[in-house]
């Protein structure tokens, strides 16, 4: 099989490693859902930077999580007057 995805010499393709319904993003698009976990990775990175601890205790982790959530909600709710919230921002509230 060449890298263009055209199949083997006779043009036949083998079965995919994963079924199409697992990686198909069509329903995500219809429901305005994210296709990837990039937003979660970004939040995780921001949390690690703000926590400043390699291995936080559960109590410390939960307190920082509540603080981050409050900060996000504050930033969303206190936008300049006349600015409309996007569907994504409304979903976060």
Q: Quick one: pLDDT at residue 90?
A: 66
State the pTM of this model: 0.44
Is the pLDDT at 2 greater than 70? The verdict is no
Name the residue among 88, 62, 66, 64 with its Cα closest to residue 76.
Answer: 88
Rounded (5°) CA angle 48-50-53: 60
Average pLDDT of the chain?
Answer: 78
Which residue has 């219809």 as its token pair? 30
- Residues in the chain, total: 93
Mutual angle of helices 38-51 and 58-77, in 10-degree steps: 120
Over range 72-85, report the average pLDDT: 77
Over range 55-79, report the average pLDDT: 85
Sketch the domain layout of the chain as residue ranges: 34-92
Under 8 Å between Cβ of 83 and 70: no
For 82, left (φ over 0), alpha (ψ -120 to 50), or beta?
left
The CB-side HSE value for 60 (13 A sphere, CA atoms) comes to: 10
Is the pLDDT at 68 greater than 70? The verdict is yes
Q: Confidence band (pLDDT; 50, 70, 90) for 58?
A: very high
Q: Quick one: pLDDT at residue 89?
A: 67
Q: Quick one: pLDDT at residue 93?
A: 57
């Amino acid at each position: 099989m060449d890298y263009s995805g055209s199949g083997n010499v006779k043009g036949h393709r083998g079965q995919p490693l994963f079924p199409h319904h697992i990686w198909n993003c069509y329903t995500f698009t219809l429901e305005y859902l994210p296709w990837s976990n990039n937003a979660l990775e970004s939040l995780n990175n921001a949390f690690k930077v703000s926590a400043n601890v390699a291995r936080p205790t559960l109590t410390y982790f939960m307190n920082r999580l509540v603080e981050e959530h409050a900060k996000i909600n504050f930033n969303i709710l206190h936008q300049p007057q006349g600015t409309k919230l996007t569907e994504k921002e409304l979903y976060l509230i």
